[in-house]
């Protein structure tokens, strides 16, 4: 990659843009406010374009069209969408189904689509079982078509869409020759391009709600991405039990016993998918997920029930994690009520 | 340049010269002689030659890539960075030409898409049809009145399939709701009120100043009819569709209120179009606004219809009822006084509204592309045919004079 030198007069600017149900933030160095704006505009246009491609809330999106039609007939799609779906299925295969974008009906059964969740009836869950499963999605590379093998399959890009949008937007930043920028999709996926002047990279703090104000780890990122999966976005408590919006597609239930996963990978699509796959996977599969991916690393925070009922300790597992982790803080106890505030 | 030459339209070569680098690149003469084109059977792949893959052009290519049985077989542009953008989108190297005549000479092209600046539409479309190919041409079909007439003549003479890029005609919810208007749902439609209010400076970034006119052709009178042509043409087309005729007159106004950046078209425009029986269409487009806003209202004697880019809603006036009053309550007991506000009455003119139950909205441009490819195979003229294209183009090219001189202009009609 060409090294783009930072103009000595460059200043740090920040701008935000609402998209994909969150707020994107862009920090970048530019010689003037006007030049910062001239870069930010096409970056956010690209985010909106990806939203229009993958949104399952917009009926006119390509993903919505595939959801409507792919059970009835082969749907011809564009190479970009095809490539995105192929990437998603590759992550499903690699994660043994822990990562799966076919969870649309499951998210609806648990009322996590456009709402904050509720426990479904047994009938609703049984109905969802037939409609979930990445192996029921067939891609034909030669014809560039998508076909569903079950009538109710619905793709939900929730576990990877923001990461993909960040990757595409970073391409625009590179094309505009932005020397140093940080793009954040509501903080769940972050890409660090280049480095601030005189720094080795962009500093990203990994907080953990159970551990108070201080971050549990701080990493320096340069030309790589970081994604975090936790249950702070959508969750509910029913009969004193905490339910979060990250589903295990194999059990059709929200994942239990996990608190937070942060993953680092050169591709934001991959770090987003990886953080979710690690969140859903058991310990053995977690190790396999990072096997052969030397540039990827992760910080996994599990919950461990300890002592009395509804009391938990957090414990961490660092996989090639490049920074120190404040172990003592993570061990802080968090009860189920506090977890709601994650 | 005097106003007369501007309004009557410049020759192609003059215009090409106005766009730096264009004259020697796009080519100046009429297109090549008819290239033998193969017969396309129902299941054959349709090979597309694409002229002008800029921002709008790339959106069309994206939708063509979602259309079964279509291949992007060749591309043409004067701005070479587009080639790599197209190759990436298509996922392979698409043969590239800088001169549209070279593209038309290829033997492996079945149909032509044109998404260049509108000053080139007519000459390229005519050359493409003469070369024996069906044409999908972005709106407006012609820049001058003469251009639009020439395109109609070429379609009539060659019999080629010709579709204009009025994709709103293919939006399921717009089609369904206008059908209901034609069935009398809102009585007799008398007014169409359309606005497309942007929230940006309508400027593209030029990689260097020498490319300003090529990138920002929309901002200069030599190469653009401004907001009326680029945005208003879609709404004018819908008014033509609703009223089932083309407008007879156009009254216009325009100014630069904010963007004194060298542009010569207005950053705001207003137009009133006159149809038979006193029916009117009003269009407004501005560039300063809190949000993107694109809406059309169709008002009739018995209701109104609101159309947006996502849905359509019918509103009916609540019928007035008269009941008998009680003498003892009103006259003997007397009427009471108190607070008057009721939230439901704040907007009494806005009835409850009947949201149109349309099929989930596929992207209208995708439907338009699919429909065009079907027409290429079946050799049928499309719904958005050349006469539809003439209706909006003639209003816009006539409207330029009306807008710049702030007067009423008479719109020529299409000879039978």
CA B141 to chain CA centroid, Å, is: 10
Residue A314's pLDDT is what? 80
For residue range A202-253, list pLDDT tens digits in order.
Answer: 999 998 876 667 888 999 999 999 999 988 777 888 888 888 889 999 999 9
Closest CA–CA distance from residue B206 to any residue of chain A (Å) = 11
Sequence-distant (≥ 6) Cβ neighbours of residue A165 within 8 angstroms:
A19, A20, A46, A47, A50, A51, A54, A185
Set of chain B residues whose Cβ sits within 8 Å of the Cβ of A80: 62, 89
Farthest CA pair distance, chain A: 64
Residue in B89, B205, B310 closest to A80 by CB: B89
In which domain, by residue range, is A97 found?
62-149
- In this prediction, residue A331 carries a pLDDT of 56
CB distance B129 to B73 below 8 Å: no
- Say if strands B70-76 and B96-97 run parallel, antiparallel, or are unpaired: parallel
Nearest CA in chain A to B207: A176
Predicted confidence at residue B35, as pLDDT, reads 52
Neighbours of B391 (CB within 10 A): 26
Indicate which of B93, B360, B374 best probes the interface with A, i.e. most A CBs within 10 Å of its own CB. B360
Q: Indicate the residue of A62, A64, A76 with minimum beta-carbon distance to B67.
A: A76
Confidence of residue B26 (pLDDT cuts 50, 70, 90): very low
CA distance B35 to B128: 10
The label of the residue with tokens 């996977």 reads A281
A57 to chain B: closest CA residue: B360
Chain B partners within 8 Å of A38 (Cβ): 205
Contact by Cβ (8 Å): B103, B127: no
Residues in chain B within 8 Å Cβ distance of A81: 66
Question: What is the 3-class SS of A208-233, one letter each residue?
Answer: CHHHCCCCCEEEEECCEEEEEEECCC
Give the Å distances, CA to CA, from B209 to B204, B215, B216, B344, B363. Answer: 12, 10, 11, 56, 35
* A35 and A105 within one domain: no
Between CA A94 and CA B405 the distance in angstroms is 67
Q: How many CA atoms lie within 13 A of A222 on its CB side?
A: 12
Taking the CB of residue A230, how many other CB atoms lie within 10 A of it? 22
Contact across the interface for A65 and B361, Cβ inside 8 Å: no
Which chain A residue has its CA at the smallest distance from B85's CA?
A175
Q: How far is A149 from chain B (nearest CA, A)?
A: 20
Give the number of domains in chain A. Answer: 3
Concatenated DSSP letters for B54-106? SHHHHHHHHHHTTSTTEEEEEEE-SSTHHHHHHHHHHTSPPPEESSHHHHHH-
- What contacts B11, CB < 8 A, 6 or more positions away? none
Q: How far apart are CA B12 and CA B223, in angstroms?
A: 11
Contacts of B361 in chain A (CB under 8 A): 59-60
With vertex at residue A271, the alpha carbon angle to CA A269 and CA A275, rounded to the nearest 5 degrees, is 120
Specify the DSSP element, H or E, that contains A183.
strand A181-185
Dist. CA A278–CA A91, nearest whole Å = 11
Indicate the pLDDT class of residue B327, thresholds 50, 70 and 90: confident
User: Is ipTM strictly over 0.85?
Assistant: no
Put simply, the answer to whether B89 touches A78 (Cβ < 8 Å) is yes
Q: What is the DSSP letter of A237?
A: E
Residues of A in contact with B65 (CB under 8 A): 76-79, 144
CB contact under 8 A, A38 and B363: no
| Inter-chain CB pairs, A–B, below 8 Å | 40
Cis amide prior to B57 (ω within 30 degrees): no
Distance between A61 CA and the closest CA of chain B, angstroms? 7
Is the same domain home to A272 and A208?
Answer: yes
pLDDT reading at B216 higher than 50 = yes
The backbone region for B52, taken as left when phi is positive above 0, alpha when psi lies in -120 to 50, beta otherwise, is left
Q: Do A79 and B361 touch (CB under 8 A)?
A: no
Q: Do residues A236 and A335 share a domain?
A: yes
Mark yes or no for CB contact A68/B360 under 8 Å.
yes
Residue B205's pLDDT is 84
- Is B34 a residue whose pLDDT tops 80? no
A78/B366 CB distance under 8 A: no
Distance from CA of B78 to the nearest CA of A (A): 20
DSSP, collapsed to helix, strand or coil, labels residue A143 as coil
Residue B1 has pLDDT above 80, yes or no: no
Closest CB to A78 among B66, B68, B69: B66
A52 and A83 co-located in one domain? no
* Residues in A touching B363 (Cβ below 8 Å): 60, 62, 65
Which residues of B fall within a CB distance of 8 Å from A79?
A: 65, 89-91
Residues 6+ apart with CB under 8 A from B166: B139, B233, B234, B237, B368, B384, B388, B389, B392
- Sequence spans of domains, chain B: 3-166+365-397, 170-318+349-360
What single-letter DSSP state applies at residue A84?
H
Residues of B in contact with A65 (CB under 8 A): 66, 362-363, 366
Give B289 to chain A, closest Cα distance, Å: 16
- How would you write the pLDDT of chain A (342 residues) with one tens digit per residue? 445 677 778 899 999 999 998 999 999 999 999 999 999 999 999 999 999 999 999 989 999 999 999 999 999 999 999 999 999 999 999 999 999 999 999 999 999 887 778 899 999 999 999 999 999 999 999 999 999 999 999 999 999 999 999 999 999 999 999 999 999 999 999 999 999 999 999 999 998 876 667 888 999 999 999 999 988 777 888 888 888 889 999 999 999 989 899 999 999 999 999 999 999 998 889 988 999 999 999 999 988 776 665 566 788 899 999 999 887 656 554 443 344 443
Chain A residues contacting B via beta carbons under 8 Å: 38, 42, 59-60, 62, 64-65, 68, 74-81, 144-145
Structure token digits, residue B413:
């009609």
Global confidence as pTM: 0.85
CA-closest candidate to residue A229, choices A214, A199, A208: A208
The backbone torsions φ and ψ at residue A220, rounded to the nearest 5 degrees and listed phi first, read: -110, 120
Asked whether residue A212 falls in the same domain as residue A309, the answer is: yes
Closest CA to B303 of B321, B315, B290: B315
Query: Considering CB atoms only, which of A59, A78, A79 is closest to B360?
Result: A59
Digit-coded pLDDT (tens) for B66-122: 999 999 999 999 999 999 999 999 999 999 999 999 999 999 999 999 999 999 999
B89/A76 CB distance under 8 A: no
Task: Select from A195, A224, A259 the last residue of a domain.
Answer: A195
State the nearest Cα–Cα gap between B303 and chain A, in angstroms. 27
| Residue from A78, A143, A177 whose CB has the most chain B CBs within 10 Å, to mutate | A78
Residues A226, B238: Cα–Cα separation, whole Å = 48
Closest-CA residue in chain B for A65? Answer: B362
Average pLDDT of every residue of chain B: 87
Which is it for strands B70-76 and B46-51: parallel, antiparallel or unpaired? parallel
Using CA atoms, how far apart are residues A253 and A236, in angstroms rounded to an integer?
13
Q: Does domain B170-318+349-360 have CATH number 3.20.20.80?
A: no
Chain A residues within an 8 Å CB radius of B91: 79
How far is B260 from chain A, CA to nearest CA, in Å?
A: 16
Question: Which of A60, A74, A81 lies nearest to residue B362, judging by beta carbons?
Answer: A60
- Out of A38, A42, A62, closest to residue B66 by CB: A62
Asked if A314 and A210 sit in the same domain, the reply is yes
Strand partners, A147: A138
* Pair A228, A313 in one domain: yes
Q: CA B416 to CA B414: how far, in whole Å?
A: 6
User: Which residues from A are below 8 Å from B365, CB to CB?
Assistant: none
**Cross-chain Cβ contact A78/B310 below 8 Å:** no
Q: Closest approach of chain A CAs to the CA of B171, in angstroms?
A: 10
Q: Are residues A139 and A183 in the same domain?
A: no
Residues from B in contact with A at Cβ < 8 Å: 62, 65-69, 89-91, 205, 310, 360-363, 366
Q: Which CATH number fits domain B3-166+365-397: 3.90.1410.10, 3.40.50.720, 1.10.10.10, 3.40.50.620?
A: 3.40.50.720
- DSSP class of B320: P
Q: Measured between CB atoms, which of A65, A77, A144 is closest to B362?
A: A65
* Residues A248 and A116 reside in one and the same domain: no
Instruction: Please report, for residues A109, A112, B189, B267, B293, the alpha-carbon distance to residue B199 in angstroms, rounded to integers and kept in the order given.
Output: 39, 33, 30, 11, 8
Judgement on whether residues A252 and A160 belong to the same structural domain of the protein: no
- Please check the confidence at residue B16 and state whether its pLDDT lies above 50: no
Please report, in angstroms and rounded to a whole number, the separation of the first and last CA atoms in chain A.
39
Q: Which CATH number is A240's domain given?
A: 3.10.520.10
Regarding whether A190 and A204 lie in a shared domain, the answer is no
Tell whether A243 and A340 lie within a shared domain.
yes
Share of chain A above pLDDT 70, in %: 91
Instruction: Report helix, strand or coil for B342.
Output: coil
Residues B38-72: pLDDT tens digits? 677 767 899 999 999 999 999 999 999 999 999 99
Give the per-residue pLDDT at A7: 76
Residue pair B304/B314 in contact (Cβ under 8 Å)? The answer is yes
């Amino acid at each position: 990659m060409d090294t783009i030198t930072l103009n000595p007069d460059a200043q740090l600017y920040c701008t935000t843009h609402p998209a994909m149900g969150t707020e994107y933030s862009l920090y970048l160095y530019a010689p003037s406010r006007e030049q910062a704006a001239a870069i930010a505009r096409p970056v956010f246009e690209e985010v909106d374009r990806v939203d229009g491609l993958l949104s399952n809330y917009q009926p006119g999106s390509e993903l919505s069209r595939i959801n409507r039609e792919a059970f009835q007939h082969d749907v011809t799609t564009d190479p970009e969408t095809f490539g995105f779906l192929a990437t998603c299925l590759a992550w499903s295969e690699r994660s043994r189904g822990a990562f799966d974008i076919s969870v649309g009906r499951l998210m609806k059964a648990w009322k996590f689509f456009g709402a904050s969740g509720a426990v479904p009836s047994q009938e609703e869950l049984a109905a969802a079982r037939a409609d979930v499963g990445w192996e029921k999605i067939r891609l034909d590379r030669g014809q560039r078509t998508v076909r569903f093998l079950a009538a109710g399959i619905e793709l939900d890009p929730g576990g990877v869409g923001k990461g993909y949008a960040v990757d595409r937007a970073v391409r625009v930043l590179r094309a505009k020759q932005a020397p140093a920028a940080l793009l954040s999709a509501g903080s769940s996926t972050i890409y660090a391009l280049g480095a601030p002047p005189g720094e080795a990279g962009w500093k990203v703090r990994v907080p953990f709600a159970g551990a108070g104000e201080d971050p549990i780890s701080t990493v320096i990122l340069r030309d790589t991405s970081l994604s975090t999966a936790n249950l702070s976005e959508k969750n509910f408590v029913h009969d004193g039990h905490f339910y979060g919006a990250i589903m295990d597609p194999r059990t059709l239930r929200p994942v239990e016993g996990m608190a937070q996963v942060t993953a680092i990978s050169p591709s934001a699509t991959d770090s987003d998918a990886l953080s979710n796959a690690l969140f859903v996977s058991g310990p053995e599969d977690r190790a396999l997920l990072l096997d052969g991916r030397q540039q990827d690393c992760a910080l996994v925070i599990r919950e461990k029930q300890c002592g009395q009922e509804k009391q938990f300790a957090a414990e961490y597992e660092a996989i090639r994690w490049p920074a120190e982790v404040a172990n003592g803080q993570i061990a802080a106890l968090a009860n189920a009520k506090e977890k709601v505030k994650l | 340049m005097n106003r007369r030459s501007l309004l009557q339209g410049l020759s192609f070569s003059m215009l090409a010269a106005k766009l730096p680098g264009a004259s020697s690149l796009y080519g100046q003469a009429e297109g090549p002689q008819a290239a033998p084109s193969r017969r396309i059977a129902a299941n054959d792949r349709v090979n597309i030659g694409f002229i002008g893959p800029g921002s709008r052009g790339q959106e069309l290519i994206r939708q063509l890539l979602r259309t079964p049985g279509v291949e992007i077989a060749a591309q043409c542009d004067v701005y070479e960075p587009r080639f790599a953008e197209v190759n990436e989108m298509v996922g392979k190297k698409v043969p590239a030409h800088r001169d549209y005549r070279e593209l038309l000479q290829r033997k492996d092209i079945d149909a032509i898409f044109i998404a260049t600046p509108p000053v080139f539409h007519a000459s390229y479309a005519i050359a493409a049809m003469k070369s024996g190919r069906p044409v999908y041409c972005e709106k407006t079909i012609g820049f001058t009145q003469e251009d639009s007439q020439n395109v109609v003549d070429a379609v009539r003479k060659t019999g080629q399939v010709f579709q204009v890029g009025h994709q709103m005609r293919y939006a399921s919810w717009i089609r369904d709701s206008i059908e209901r208007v034609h069935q009398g749902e809102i009585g007799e439609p008398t007014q169409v009120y359309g606005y497309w209010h942007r929230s940006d400076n309508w400027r593209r970034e030029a990689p260097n100043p020498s490319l300003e006119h090529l990138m920002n052709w929309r901002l200069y009178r030599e190469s653009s009819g401004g907001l009326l042509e680029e945005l208003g043409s879609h709404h004018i087309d819908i008014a033509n569709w609703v009223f089932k005729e083309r407008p007879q007159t156009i009254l216009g106004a325009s100014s630069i209120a904010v963007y004194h950046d060298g542009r010569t078209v207005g950053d705001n425009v207003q137009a009133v179009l006159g149809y038979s029986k006193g029916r009117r269409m009003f269009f407004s487009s501005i560039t300063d606004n809190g949000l993107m806003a694109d809406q059309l209202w169709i008002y009739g004697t018995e209701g109104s219809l609101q159309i947006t880019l996502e849905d359509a809603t019918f509103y009916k006036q609540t019928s007035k009822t008269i009941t008998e009053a009680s003498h003892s309550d009103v006259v003997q007991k007397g009427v009471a006084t108190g607070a008057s506000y009721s939230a439901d009455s704040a907007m009494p003119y806005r009835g409850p509204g009947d949201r149109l139950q349309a099929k989930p909205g596929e992207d209208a441009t995708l439907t338009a592309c699919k429909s065009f490819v079907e027409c290429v195979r079946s050799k049928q003229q499309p719904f958005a045919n050349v006469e539809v294209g003439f209706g909006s183009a003639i209003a816009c090219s006539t409207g330029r004079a009306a807008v710049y001189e702030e007067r009423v202009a008479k719109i020529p009609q299409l000879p039978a």
